[in-house]
Amino acid sequence: MFNATDQLVRLFYMLYKALSISTLVALALVELTTQALANPNLTTSTQKPTNRNHVVTVEESPSQSNNTNNVAVTATARSAPSTNARTISPSNEISARSSSNNAITDDFAVTATDVQIVGVSEELQQVILKQISTYPGGSTSQSQLEKDVAAILNTGLFADARATQASNQNGWSVVYEVTPVVVKSIQLSGNQVLTPTVANELFESQLGKSISPVNLNQSAEKLNQWYKDNGYAIAQVLAVEPTANGVVKIEVAEGVIGNINLRFLDEEGKPTEGRTREDFLKDDLQLKSGDLFRVDVVQQDLRQLYQLGLFNQVDISLNGDARNIDVTYELTERAARTVNVGGGYNDTNGIFGTISYKDSNVGGVNQKLGFELQLSPRDLQFEGNYGSPYRATNPDKPGYNVEAFRRRTVSRTFEGDLPLEGNQEFETPNEGHFGGGITLTKPVNGWDTSVGLNYDRTSIRDRDGNLLPEDPLGNPLSFSDTGIDDLVSLSLAVAKDQRDHPINPTQGSLLSFSTEQSVPVGSGNILMNRLQANYSHYLPVSLFSGENPEVFAFNVQGGTTIGDLPPYRAFNLGGQNSVRGYGSGDVASGRSYVLASAEYRIPIFNPVGAVLFADFASDLGSAPSVPGEPGIVRGKQGSGFGYGGGLRVDSPIGVLRADYGFNDQGNSKLQFGIGQRF
């Protein structure tokens, strides 16, 4: 009995002891688990990824065409598929947030009660907030913090980053400790004209300092402006990419020219076959394939094409982007050939017939040929010329023009009534000119320069062909006493033409100087020097709304003759190409002169325009120094003013001009001409 009881007690004691030990073990495991959850005291540091490229990309504004350099600067993390292109701005809102506060991962999800970023500026804090997925009140975890650190380093804006967390009764307080990149150097790619020196100057605000996306964007905009200011309108910054080692990579595209094309258009803008040879035009273009697109070079090419006189309209079109762009010159040709047949009657020649031929584009290479013949029972007159322009592609060969002529016209110098006694009458004599010349042209230091050798045999005759060396008052009409003068001369002229169009300029200027020195040989033995200067300026304005601008045009010119002066070589003032409202030569005939004109040109509708004008001219009191004083004898006043209005019509043979002018003597006159007044 005793033994059975004793064994039973021992059994219960062993069961109790085993139960106590199990309970203690369970309590210890619970305590350890609780401590692990509440007090992890862990530090997370992630190795830097090998590929960090937070790219500041320069893109074209969607509202602009491919050939503009208006750009928007955006930042793109290329190596992070989940990060889209975005504009770097301290004011951007945080968008990369977790959508759930109870995300469950392989490690434990904990509430982030507080998130701090230390070691960087407010601007870079905003960048980091857009990269991380941990935010106050949201859930995070150990693996999420590792991803956040990787995303921060992947921007390339930071040299180092780590995340630490401290537990509290509600979760974790998270601190991101980051070190920004210090910019050490600039690395260019895609550049030809942009030098490292210029790039360093424009990005100077970043060198040696902590990186700033805003400053990078501003420097990229300065670089785009530098391209624009230097005429590279297509060039632009494509991307600015910071790296963790302090090197900022700048990718640019500078508008490399691909193909250069020519497209001929008719007056309606439809493609047509051109007469001008394409190789002739391309050889003279300054813009070449492989060059960078420059505004000043294009403008020079357009001006050169206009100055050929072959085209009514010249434009360009661009196709491509800043890396490679094709340029097409769109050309509308003028009518190059004209043939005219006509006839008429005048007091000088009686009944006459005329035929003329003109071709300003012989062979499609801008060579010029012209011929005019006038035949009457009394006389045979002709003019002929042939020329080839200077070409920059063959600089050793000057341009040239050869001409020959025989013509007879009423003398504008001797036109007017003489103070004769009684019933005496004296008809205005005719000037006959026979001769020719050759002129060579070539640019010199930016000036169009020409030199010429000329011969002109001038005779003064009455209507019946008799020589008239003097008038009834004994005033000489020629320099020699025979009525025939020989004038052999050397001429020199220089001009600076900066007009946008040689026929109908709307802006720019034209300045020219000329001198003609005679050689004292032949009849009259004339030794003289004739000097002239001429300046025109064109200013576009938009006083009325219209497709084409109005133009204010101004011209001032003057001249004088030194030495011998045949009276018929005096400067005659007045007429359609001088002071409008007066007849030709009615204002003055002087040794010297000055002439000023102003016009307001108004386009009405294609091809018609209107003009308001004012002209003034004076012989500067030089009329008495002309042999025979033809201006004084005929009562010319010496100076005059005219004003009025007119119409212009752009035609295949040139601008047709009709002006109605009023002069300061109370008279008016309707006058016609071809070409603008200046």
- Based on the fold, state whether residues 626 and 661 are members of the same structural domain: yes
Q: CA dist 96 to 92, 148, 176, Å?
A: 12, 11, 16
Q: What average pLDDT does the segment 339-344 reach?
A: 92
Residues 297 and 350 in one domain: no
The CATH number that applies at residue 601 is 2.40.160.50
Supply 204's token pair.
């100077």
Average pLDDT (49-78) is 35
Answer whether 661's CB lies under 8 Å from 669's CB.
yes
Same domain, 601 and 497: yes
**Confidence grade of residue 144 (pLDDT, cut at 50, 70, 90):** very high
Total count of domains within the chain: 5
Q: Which distant-in-sequence residues (6+ apart) come within 8 Å of 358 by Cβ?
A: 337, 338, 339, 369, 370, 371
Q: Is the per-residue pLDDT at 352 higher than 50? A: yes
Residues 555 and 518 in one domain: yes
Q: Range of 126's domain?
A: 86-180
Q: 244-287: per-residue pLDDT in tens?
A: 889 999 999 999 999 999 999 998 889 999 999 999 999 989 99
Q: Which 8-state DSSP code applies to residue 292?
A: B
Same domain for 150 and 20, yes or no, is: no
Please report how the helices 142-154 and 122-131 are oriented relative to each other, as an axis angle in degrees rounded to 10: 120
Strand 571-573 and strand 508-519: the pairing is: unpaired
Per-residue pLDDT, 307: 83
Which residue, 170, 169, 93, 176, is CA-closest to 134? 176
> At residue 64, does pLDDT exceed 70?
no
On whether residue 670 sits in a domain, the answer given is: yes
Mean pLDDT of the chain: 85
Gyration radius of the chain's alpha carbons: 45
Residue 602 placed within a domain? yes
Q: Are residues 413 and 485 in the same domain?
A: yes
The CATH number given to whatever domain includes residue 306 is 3.10.20.310
**Residue recorded with tokens 């084409």:** 548
User: Average pLDDT, stretch 158-172?
Assistant: 93
CA dist 603 and 555 (Å) reads 20
User: Tell me, what's the pLDDT at 102?
Assistant: 39
Q: Of the given ranges (212-216, 522-526, 575-579), which has the lowest mean pLDDT?
A: 212-216
User: 289 and 415: one domain?
Assistant: no
| φ and ψ of 203, to 5 deg | -105, 20
Higher pLDDT, 263 or 24: 263
Question: Is pLDDT of 161 > 50?
Answer: yes
Please indicate, yes or no, whether residues 458 and 601 belong to a single structural domain of this protein: yes
24, pLDDT greater than 80: no
Residues 326 and 305 in one domain: yes
Phi and psi angles of residue 618, each rounded to the nearest 5 degrees, phi first: -150, 145
Please provide residue 113's backbone torsions phi and psi, each rounded to the nearest 5 degrees: -80, -25
User: SS3 for 1?
Assistant: coil
Q: Is it the case that residue 18 has pLDDT exceeding 90?
A: no
What pLDDT does residue 89 have? 30
What lies within 8 Å, CB to CB, of 66 at 6+ separation is 60, 318, 319, 320, 321, 322, 325
Quick one: pLDDT at residue 134? Answer: 94
Do 460 and 476 contact (CB within 8 A), yes or no? no
Residue 653 lies in a domain: yes
pLDDT at 31 > cutoff 70: no
67-123 pLDDT, tens digit each: 333 222 222 333 333 333 322 233 223 233 333 333 334 478 999 999 999 999 999
Position 474 in a domain = yes
Q: How far is CA 34 from CA 37, 39, 444, in A?
A: 5, 8, 96
Q: Which amino acid, one-letter code, is at 261? A: N
Same domain for 347 and 295? Answer: no
Residue 573 belongs to some domain of the structure: yes
Q: Is the pLDDT of residue 131 over 60?
A: yes
Closest CA to 647 of 619, 613, 615: 613
Q: Confidence class of residue 5 from pLDDT cuts 50, 70 and 90?
A: very low
Give yes or no for residue 29 having a pLDDT over 90: no
Give CA–CA dist 507/100, Å, rounded.
67
Flag the least confident range among 55-64, 252-261, 317-326, 602-611. Answer: 55-64
448 and 510 share one domain: yes
Query: Confidence class of residue 10 from pLDDT cuts 50, 70 and 90?
Result: low
228 class by beta-carbon count within 10 Å (0-12 exposed, 13-18 middle, 19+ buried): middle
* 454 is a domain residue: yes
pLDDT at residue 446 tops 60 = yes
Q: Are 75 and 213 in contact, with CB atoms under 8 Å apart?
A: yes
The answer to whether position 564 is within a domain reads: yes
What is the predicted pLDDT for the residue at 426?
Answer: 86
Residue 11, SS3 per DSSP: helix
Q: Please identify, among 180, 203, 234, the residue that sits at the C-terminal boundary of a domain.
A: 180
Residues 524 and 644 in one domain: yes
Of 151, 180, 209, the last residue of a domain is: 180
Phi, psi of 423 (to 5 degrees): -100, 20
- With respect to residue 240, please indicate whether it lies within any of the assigned structural domains: no
